[in-house]
Amino acid sequence: MSRRIDRSAVSSKVGARIRELQTERGMTLQELAEAGALSANYLASVEDGFATLTVETLDRIARALDVPPMRIIVFPEDDERDLIADLICKLPEHEHHKVRKDIEECMAQS
């Protein structure tokens, strides 16, 4: 796991997204690190945008947060579709079917 000297824009956004999801779940950095079998120092570097993140590590973090990996690399503030997907993910699970049905009906009408 390598550490950069400076942050890349996308690494910083991924790190901020991880921190946001962690906060939503009321998890500390240490709790997330333990759940993902990662060191807290490494995870802090990821969140700060300095550490290299592999697909395997992304999956471990996503599992620890109990979200699909896609939720970590989606930036709702950048795209309306990402915002809609993020809002749907925040709905109670029993509402997902209704939203999907409404979207399918809307698409059939267009």
Q: Kindly state the tokens that stand for 3.
A: 């550490």
pTM of the model: 0.78
pLDDT of the chain, 110 residues: tens digit per residue: 555 566 778 899 999 999 999 999 999 999 999 999 999 999 999 999 998 889 999 999 999 999 999 999 988 888 898 888 888 888 898 998 999 999 999 999 98
Residue 9 pLDDT? 85
Among 54, 53, 49, 41, which Cα is nearest to 6's? 49
Query: Considering only the top CATH level, what class is 1-73?
Result: mainly alpha
CB-hemisphere CA count at 13 Å for 98? 5
Taking a C-beta distance cutoff of 8 angstroms, is the pair 14, 50 a contact? no
Distance CA 88, CA 74 (A): 13
Domain boundary assignment for the chain: 1-73, 75-110
